């Protein structure tokens, strides 16, 4: 036969709880009952943290900030599938991921207030600093995966990046190498439909981002990124596979950035109110609450209590962040190299006065 | 010459009689916009490409709505792929187009170094002059944007190290317009480096298209005591410092280098031969930088000219900070320059 089909691609999409809060019976039974409260509490906390960050920015108490509103299920559902000893490699929009991993909010606020000490990861967590050049972190994750494989550890790597980042060469090179070396990396694309003013459709002619994994020889899946259960399920499967030596997975979390790109952006200049409103109606907490209520896991009193606890924690974190004394000017020289050059030593002496 | 003057804002321009004297004032941002617009209008081979060139901000206003006027085939928003875009621009340039590639921040240019250094800078040489790469890459430097180490660098000296490239750093609206046109028609790859803090600066800009020669400095202020050679936003700081110092009876000569590759060291050496003292004010790091190059050329060609040690004004030898407390200690300004001039002036005097 001169022409024969030598490959076929099937792109899967996963949803566990639909927008009405109804769950797929066979899928939902695979998740532990105890997890929904964790979802609800962490999303509530991250959302409050985010809200306060935005108002602090407006008051001039915090610098330019990248909101996570609308993306909480994608961030938290995925992060909760990892252990604290796994490696987390964020872009610059992953406050929700970091909070889910137990990163101190005080440090996150400090970071966004403009303080490099905010990215000094505490002992017990393996989180690399936020990455400002979009997409460069993709290859770092492959290197971390390589280290894990080399040391024979039972750990996985999460690398977060946006739909915009998926156009970078580093995305393709990173995924290709992870496939070749069969590394324990979970590629978590936060497809929030926009890269500042560039819509997803202008980013690539491909229908999904998930399907790209096929050309690198591993699995890719799209999940409803506003369904925290689906994100968790897909990620947990990928983590288990990675730890069992099964190699990488690409997960495209199909979600939406409800706020401006950052506080210096004005999204009304490039997208319609109708589009935003339609996605608002699909935001992750609505369906989670409906589902939990049916299961008897949610009540107004419970929610009030969760909010109270979360806002106390956020208040305390802000208080601690603002009470931190400013960094010592000499720090900037001090940490530039392991051993300082003569010029640096001289400049350090000048700064130390 | 009215267009050699620099005004920090519109009010200063008006106060100096700008519009009153029949001179049209434009901001740096508007001057860039007008240059691009006239180039697109008169030359079908010119096109503009970059992330966000068509959005509501229009690269801080410098490309605002150009896509509406010239179409999105010629003013192109792109996916996020700096390295590929640079290769594409090089290919287009080699085939006869005159692309203007735009980066909102210079910090994303390191992603494109293979294309710039191994290809754009090399082809004319490698192919015996048979291929040229008339590519202009606009990028923006800044200071104190809060986003720190990966987001507010001044990388001009990296490019100035590479044969085959040109590097220009306009400090006034007049130069921004004239140098952009000169870059597009230069025939070589030109790194066109703007400063975000200059965007609202105002100055006289003629309506008709014109070019400012690449490789020629301009003396912004004549003086006899100390020469200050500066680039970009530091030219403005140097002019302010010169004002402060004039009040103390110190007379500075301020040279705006305008281009750092090729570097107009002749003008600086001539000035230093007169003043006997040199301060170099750069927006970036010192090591292997503009000041280092000027110092070397001065020593090579007029080693006896200095009557006091040369001083360089640069960033401290560490990454750009985010913290407001660190930024305060980090960024030099007119007062840093003035202090350096005073010290140099005293040394020169005591050396007789
Ligand atoms: C390499 C690089 N190019 C350009 C930018 C400017 N920039 C910052 S965020 C962004 C869009 C990123 O979009 P996406 O990857 O979808 O992430 P999102 O902001 O939606 O979370 C761009 C273009 C950058 N920071 N780094
Ligand atoms: Mg995005």
Q: Are residues B222 and B200 in the same domain?
A: no
Say how far apart CA B160 and CA B27 lie, in whole Å.
Answer: 27
- For residue B211, tell me if it sits in a domain: no
Q: Are residues B121 and B224 in the same domain?
A: no
Q: How far is A345 from chain B (nearest CA, A)?
A: 10
Domain of B244 in residue numbering reads as 218-350
**By percentage, how much of chain B surpasses pLDDT 70?**
98
Flag whether pLDDT at B14 surpasses 60.
yes
Average pLDDT, chain B: 95
Mean pLDDT for A27-34 is: 90
Question: B147 to chain A: which residues are within 8 Å by CB?
Answer: 63-64, 132
> Per CATH, which fold does A12-327 belong to?
Rossmann fold (3.40.50)
Residue where a domain terminates, one of B146, B180, B204: B204
Compute the CA torsion angle A123, A126, A128, A134 (nearest 10 deg).
-150
Mean pLDDT for A156-183 is: 98
Kindly give the number of the ligand 1 atom that is closest to the alpha carbon of A132: 25
Q: Which domain CATH number covers B42? A: 3.40.50.970
Mean pLDDT for B125-131 is: 95
- For residue B122, tell me if it sits in a domain: yes
At CB < 8 Å, which residues of chain A contact B? Answer: 63-64, 114-116, 131-136, 164-165, 167-169, 195-198, 202-204, 266, 269-270, 326-327, 329, 331-333, 335-336, 341, 343-344, 347, 351
> B326 vs A266: CB contact, 8 Å cut-off?
no
Confidence at residue B4, expressed as pLDDT on a 0 to 100 scale? 66
Compute the CA torsion angle B95, B96, B97, B99 (nearest 10 deg).
80
Residue where a domain terminates, one of B204, B235, B264: B204
Residue where a domain terminates, one of B177, B204, B231: B204
State the pLDDT confidence band at B2, using cuts at 50, 70 and 90.
low
Flag whether pLDDT at B5 surpasses 80.
no
Q: Are residues B313 and B268 in the same domain?
A: yes
Q: Is the pTM of this model over 0.80?
A: yes
CA distances from B276 to B254, B298, B346 (A): 14, 11, 12
Q: How many domains does chain B have?
A: 2
**First-to-last C-alpha distance (Å) of chain A:** 82
**First-to-last C-alpha distance (Å) of chain B:** 35
Q: Are residues B326 and B279 in the same domain?
A: yes
Which residue lies with its CA nearest to atom 12 of ligand 1? A195
* A24-28, B2-6, B306-310: least confidently modelled range: B2-6
Q: Are residues B198 and B224 in the same domain?
A: no
Average pLDDT, chain A: 96
Q: Which domain CATH number covers B261? A: 3.40.50.920
How many Cβ contacts (< 8 angstroms) between chains A and B?
Answer: 107
State the pLDDT confidence band at B147, using cuts at 50, 70 and 90.
low
**Which residues does residue B254 pair with via DSSP β-bridges, in sequence order?**
B221, B228
């Amino acid at each position: 036969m001169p022409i024969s089909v030598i490959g076929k691609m099937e792109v899967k999409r996963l949803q566990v709880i639909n927008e009405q809060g109804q769950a797929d019976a066979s899928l939902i039974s695979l998740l532990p009952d105890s997890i929904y409260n964790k979802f609800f509490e962490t999303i509530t906390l991250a959302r409050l943290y985010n809200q306060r960050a935005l108002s602090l920015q407006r008051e001039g108490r915090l610098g330019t900030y990248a909101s996570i509103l609308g993306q909480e299920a994608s961030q938290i559902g995925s992060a909760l599938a990892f252990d604290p000893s796994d490696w987390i490699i964020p872009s610059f929009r992953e406050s929700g991921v970091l909070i889910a991993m137990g990163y101190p909010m005080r440090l996150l606020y400090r970071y966004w207030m403009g303080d490099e000490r905010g990215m000094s990861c505490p002992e017990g967590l393996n989180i690399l600093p936020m990455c400002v050049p979009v997409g460069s972190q993709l290859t770092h994750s492959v290197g971390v995966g390589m280290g894990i494989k080399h040391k024979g550890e039972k750990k996985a790597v999460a690398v977060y990046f946006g739909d915009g980042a998926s156009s970078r060469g580093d995305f393709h090179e990173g995924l290709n190498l992870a496939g070749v070396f069969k590394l324990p990396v979970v590629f978590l694309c936060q497809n929030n439909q926009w890269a500042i003013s560039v819509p997803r459709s202008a980013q690539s002619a491909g229908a999904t981002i998930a399907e790209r994994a096929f050309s690198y020889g591993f699995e890719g899946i799209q999940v409803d990124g506003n369904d925290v259960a689906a994100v968790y399920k897909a990620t947990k499967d990928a983590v288990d596979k990675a730890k069992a030596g099964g190699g990488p997975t690409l997960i495209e979390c199909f979600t939406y950035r409800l706020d401006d790109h950052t506080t210096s952006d004005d999204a009304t200049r490039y997208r319609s109110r109708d589009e935003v409103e339609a996605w608002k109606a699909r935001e992750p907490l609505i369906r989670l609450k409906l589902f939990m209520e049916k299961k008897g896991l949610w009540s107004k009193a419970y929610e009030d209590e969760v909010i109270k606890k979360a806002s106390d924690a956020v208040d305390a974190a802000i208080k601690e962040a603002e009470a931190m004394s400013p960094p010592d000017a000499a720090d900037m020289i001090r940490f530039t190299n392991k051993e300082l050059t003569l010029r640096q030593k001289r400049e350090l002496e000048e700064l130390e006065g | 010459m009215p267009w050699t003057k620099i005004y920090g804002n519109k009010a200063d321009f008006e106060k100096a009689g700008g519009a009153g004297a029949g001179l049209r004032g434009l901001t740096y941002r508007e001057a860039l916009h007008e240059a691009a617009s006239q180039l697109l209008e008169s030359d079908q081979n010119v096109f503009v490409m970059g992330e966000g060139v068509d959005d509501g901000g229009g690269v801080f206003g410098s490309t605002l709505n150009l896509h509406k006027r010239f179409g999105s085939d010629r003013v192109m928003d792109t996916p996020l792929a700096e390295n590929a875009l640079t290769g594409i621009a090089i290919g287009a340039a080699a085939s006869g187009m005159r692309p203007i590639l735009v980066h909102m921040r210079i910090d994303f240019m390191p992603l494109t170094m293979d294309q710039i250094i191994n290809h754009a800078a090399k082809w004319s040489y490698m192919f015996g002059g048979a291929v040229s790469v008339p590519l202009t890459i606009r990028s923006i430097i800044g200071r104190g944007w809060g986003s720190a180490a990966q987001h507010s660098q001044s990388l001009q000296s990296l490019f100035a190290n590479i044969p085959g490239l040109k590097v220009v750093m306009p400090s006034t609206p007049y130069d921004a317009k004239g140098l952009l046109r000169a870059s597009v028609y230069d025939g070589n790859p030109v790194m066109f480096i703007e400063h975000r803090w200059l965007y609202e600066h105002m100055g006289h800009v003629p309506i008709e298209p014109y070019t400012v020669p690449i490789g020629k400095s301009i003396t912004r202020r004549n003086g006899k005591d100390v020469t200050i050679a500066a680039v970009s936003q530091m030219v403005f700081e140097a002019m302010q410092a010169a004002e402060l110092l004039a009040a103390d009876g110190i007379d500075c000569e301020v040279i705006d280098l305008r281009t750092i590759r090729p570097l107009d060291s002749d003008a600086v050496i001539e000035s230093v031969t007169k003043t006997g003292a040199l301060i170099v004010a750069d927006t970036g790091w010192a090591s292997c930088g503009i000041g280092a190059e000027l110092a070397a050329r001065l020593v090579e060609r007029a080693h006896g000219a200095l009557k006091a040690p040369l001083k360089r004004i640069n960033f401290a030898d560490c990454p750009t900070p985010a913290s407001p407390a660190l930024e305060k200690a980090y960024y030099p300004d007119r007062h840093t320059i003035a202090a350096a001039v005073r010290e140099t002036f005293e040394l020169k005097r005591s050396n007789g």
